Amino acid sequence: MTRINATHSDETDTLRHFRERFDLPDGVIYLDGNSLGALPKTVKARVAYTISEEWGNQLIRSWNTAGWVHLPQKVGGRIGRLIGAQEGTVVSADSTSINLFKVLSAALGLNPGRSKIVSERENFPTDLYIAEGVARQIGQGHRLVLADKPADIPAMLSDDVAVLMLTHVNYRTGYRHDMAAITQAAHDKGILVIWDLAHSAGAMAIDLTGADADFAIGCGYKYLNGGPGAPAFLYVNPRHHGGFRQPLSGWFGHRAPFAFESSYAPSNSIDQYLCGTPSVLGMVAMDEALALWDDVDMDALRAKSVALCDFFIQEVDGFAGEFGLTLVTPRNPDQRGSQVSYSCDNGYAIMQALIARGVIGDFRAPDIIRFGFTPLYLSFAEVSEAVAILRDILSTRAWDAPKYKVREAVT
Ligand SMILES: Cc1ncc(COP(=O)(O)O)c(C=O)c1O
């Protein structure tokens, strides 16, 4: 691999002007946009306007005049363009966990007579917990079966599997599945596929339509920069619209919510996957945060993401062995997302020491230090500086202080 030079890469970076569109504190190198995206500057004014004018002055009229009622579809449409979804196939609503409950329930209903849900032991826990809960609730012998590693999945796609449920990019290792190939292999066996895009939406272009995915879900607060607890999203392939009722049959999923009928009649569109009143302030922040994506060249975004990760790995390679850092993210860019993770002893303390020096990443138990690379607001010079600080912390054992070993609730 050709060595990457930070100065040259920054000078030729076509995305560097996006940095000005984010509020980032001085003295911070932010390598955690894969967990909570940074604040796009225009979000502050938009939310303030919504609070003071739309809520404060227009009051309930804003459901119509400010279009609050259509925000789930509007925001969904903006996200849909980033994930290769057709118009009318994505809505923004609820949390990723709740959306998984909805689409997994729908998928199992569409594939009766099959009892297995296949996923990975290394999948994000909420996905596994929701699947366990759905299986228990159906109570017809449904069960979750877990692959120990990605290579085991193809052999597990048997005729009794109803749903394959995978996270596109693994939250801990950064490993990325081949979405199109796996979806095809599952469909060949009559299995429906749900993709969790939490760590890939906004990190790279995704082609749900090209892959013919059945369902997808994902978070708004990571690479999409929608803010803490931002509304999530879900995608349903048009061939499944109206095919099965998702169980959270709230009035926003009714075909005519304001007819106030006493019995539920589901919408035949993606709207059926809505449940209740949208969280307007969160939706407005999300809508505004997504506006800047209209100007983003997704090929340039991916190229820079690959280069930032390659550069970080290249620089850390120089001392990883000496300090017991093992790269757990694939070196091959085709097999990874936009993060780089290492396993190591004392990872929690090392990360706390980094954060104290202004390099913000995070720690995932039991032993992973995780660094996210968001091409819209990160420079190669910052990555270079972060690596120098990491090296300094390791060589001076600065992490070996009691204050860095006290576990906070969120790691
Ligand atoms: C892959 C994945 N799925 C789901 C979630 C979380 O979902 P929720 O927003 O419902 O907490 C996360 C959170 O980090 C995640 O990484």
- For the chain, domains (ranges, CATH) are 6-30+297-405 (3.90.1150.10), 45-294 (3.40.640.10)
Ligand 1 within 6 A of CB of 229: no
- Average pLDDT estimate for 319-338: 97
Neighbours of 335 (CB within 10 A): 16
pLDDT band, residue 407 (cuts 50/70/90): confident
Ligand 1 within 6 A of CB of 170: no
Residue nearest to atom 8 of ligand 1 (CA): 96
pLDDT band, residue 243 (cuts 50/70/90): confident
The answer, yes or no, to whether residue 244 has pLDDT greater than 90, is: no
pLDDT digits (tens, 9 = 90+) for 357-391: 999 999 999 999 999 999 999 999 999 999 999 99
For residue 12, report the distance from its CA to the centre of ligand 1, in Å: 34
pLDDT band, residue 139 (cuts 50/70/90): confident
For residue 220, report the distance from its CA to the centre of ligand 1, in Å: 10
pLDDT digits (tens, 9 = 90+) for 10-33: 999 999 999 999 999 999 999 999
Mean pLDDT estimate for the chain: 97
Cβ proximity of 91 and 117 under 8 Å: no
Residue nearest to atom 14 of ligand 1 (CA): 35
pLDDT band, residue 410 (cuts 50/70/90): confident
Distance CA 47, CA 52 (A): 9
Instruction: Tell me whether residue 133 is exposed, middle or buried, using C-beta atoms within 10 angstroms of its C-beta: 0 to 12, 13 to 18, 19 or more.
Output: middle
Q: Give the per-residue pLDDT at 189.
A: 98
pLDDT digits (tens, 9 = 90+) for 82-127: 999 999 999 999 999 999 999 999 999 999 999 999 999 999 999 9
Q: Give the per-residue pLDDT at 118.
A: 98
Q: Give the per-residue pLDDT at 409.
A: 87
Ligand 1 within 6 A of CB of 221: no
Atom of ligand 1 nearest to the CA of 232: 9
Catalytic site residues? 124, 196, 221-222, 370
For residue 277, report the distance from its CA to the centre of ligand 1, in Å: 21
Atom of ligand 1 nearest to the CA of 126: 4
pLDDT digits (tens, 9 = 90+) for 163-183: 999 999 999 999 999 999 999
Q: Give the per-residue pLDDT at 285.
A: 98
In sequence order, which residues have a C-beta less than 8 Å from that of residue 211 and are 6 or more positions away? Answer: 84, 179, 180, 183, 184
pLDDT digits (tens, 9 = 90+) for 28-44: 999 999 999 999 999 99
For residue 356, report the distance from its CA to the centre of ligand 1, in Å: 26
For residue 126, report the distance from its CA to the centre of ligand 1, in Å: 7
pLDDT digits (tens, 9 = 90+) for 296-318: 999 999 999 999 999 999 999 99
Cβ proximity of 73 and 252 under 8 Å: no
Residue nearest to atom 5 of ligand 1 (CA): 96
pLDDT-above-70 percentage for the chain: 100
Ligand 1 within 6 A of CB of 95: yes
pLDDT-above-90 percentage for the chain: 96
pLDDT band, residue 245 (cuts 50/70/90): confident
Q: Give the per-residue pLDDT at 1.
A: 63
